[in-house]
Chain A
């Protein structure tokens, strides 16, 4: 009885981060030095319904807008542009006012006339940063690796798909092949979409990703019943095909944050590395936990063993319906 409650509790714990996932979209501040001491500023803030999050960038030193601020709204975000006059932006402290009372982050990117760039991620806990004299490629890489890890850690739909694959594939060798196929596929489409060779419309894409999760549910049940199917015989094939879809999902997340044009290949590569780190950590954790449960000789009741499979199927179905409805609204 106690065990049962604990399992339910843990199930709830596992799902809880999802509730905050929608507030994740970070704000994006881009400042490009068009001529010495003059920056063209792009400031993208996420919208909650019709409300723009009240976030404002502030500089510690001398920096004044030279043109009036023009505002337009895109779905989910407000975009403001203006020209900023600042003789020395380096050495000033940038503060995003209001960030500390939100749950979102802000990505800041500054391109100087000398070709160097500075990227920084500001968070509610750390809403300000010093614009340093120079920033290395390492620092840019660090920002995007973290972004990639974060995207997979909070992207509950991607994790659920991987969990589905883990449930479906028992043999380790096949698991390695399957996860590799998924990785190769989503890296491919992530690169293609980010570099602008192809694109997928957002709403149908989200519905299709949900469909990929829903697809795994019945296959898992089929495997329990000892039946076979193409998915069960060749899980890597399915992982590859759906991986292509998930890659477009990653790409839209990456482009939502606003991509640096100059460092595009580096940002793309390190974002992907971050995603893989998160994914490998998740797979490793699940495999090690499963091994530990075996060594601790857990005798789970059947419904506990079945629960993850049914959870994947039902959540996939729920999201598919929800996102399909959203498509036609």
Chain B
């Protein structure tokens, strides 16, 4: 609580985040805002989202428009599916592989077909959403938290892709590519890690 004052500058939503039940952080503002804060507080979910929005932003406005809707709706669909169907969530190597592919595509900065990017957005959204969904379905206000997550994803992807879509400066694109490369590298290390721990 005392630290909240220091953290004010970072943002209202992060104020009271403290350890809470399974993965969903407690923002102190109820389940909707817990969900809203979730993608920013959980690096496992944040990395592929950043990689995807970087990729979409590099590919331009049209691709960005698609991803802005494809990612949150696929995520929401994944969460809803997990609440209904009781299946174990996907293996860790799958989410790692997705992160690697997304980061590497952004790092390469080629004119990838829009359909490929949007397809990857749907797959990544559904996979991660499915991973979130089971925990969320079990808690009170889980539906609101899901709505919060989807809203946050929409806002993040619109803001990032929107700001990047008009990037023309060469160095700026290179900076984005380096960021993509870093994300792919983190994904590779995570893949090795998951194999070592045998998940």
Interface on chain B toward A: helix, strand, loop, or mixed SS?
helix
The distance from the CB of A8 to the nearest CB of chain B, in whole angstroms, is 12
A-B contact pairs, 20 of them (CB 8 A): A6-B72, A13-B151, A16-B144, A103-B30, A123-B28, A125-B20, A125-B26, A139-B1, A142-B1, A142-B2, A146-B4, A153-B12, A281-B12, A285-B155, A289-B158, A291-B162, A295-B163, A296-B65, A296-B162, A297-B61
Across the interface, do B73 and A9 meet the contact criterion of CB distance under 8 Å? yes
Measured between C-beta atoms, what is the minimum distance from A278 to chain B in Å? 6
B116 touches A (CB below 8 Å): no
Q: Which residue of A lies closest to B158 (CB)?
A: A292
**Cβ B151 vs Cβ A14 within 8 A:** yes
B162 to chain A, nearest CB (A): 2
CA distance A2 to B77 in the complex (A): 14
Count of inter-chain pairs, beta carbons less than 8 A: 104
A295–B61 CB distance below 8 A? yes
Find residues 1-47 in chain B having any chain A CB closer than 8 Å to their own CB: 1-2, 4-5, 8, 11-12, 15-16, 18, 20-21, 26, 28-30, 32-33
B64 contacts chain A at the CB level, 8 A cutoff: yes
A256 at interface by CB-CB < 8 Å: no
CA distance A143 to B65 in the complex (A): 40
B2 touches A296 (CB 8 A): no
Chain B: interface residue count, which band?
Answer: 35 or more
A9-B73, A139-B1 known; A298+B32 contact, CB < 8 A: no
The reply on B114 being an interface residue by CB < 8 A is: no
Q: Interface size on A (CB < 8 Å)?
A: 42
Contact of B150 among A13, A121, A143, A154 (CB under 8 A): A13
The 3 A-B residue pairs whose C-beta atoms are closest, nearest first, are A292-B162, A297-B61, A142-B4
Determine whether A113 belongs to the interface, using a CB cutoff of 8 Å to chain B: no
Q: Is A20 an interface residue (CB 8 A)?
A: yes
Q: Does B112 contact A (CB under 8 A)?
A: no
Evaluate whether A277 and B65 lie within 8 angstroms (CB atoms) in the complex, with A16-B147, A142-B5 already known: no
Most buried by B among A121, A125, A277: A125
B165 touches A296 (CB 8 A): yes
A178-198 CB contacts (< 8 Å) to partner B: none
Interface string of A131-150 (1 = CB under 8 A from B): 00000101101110110011
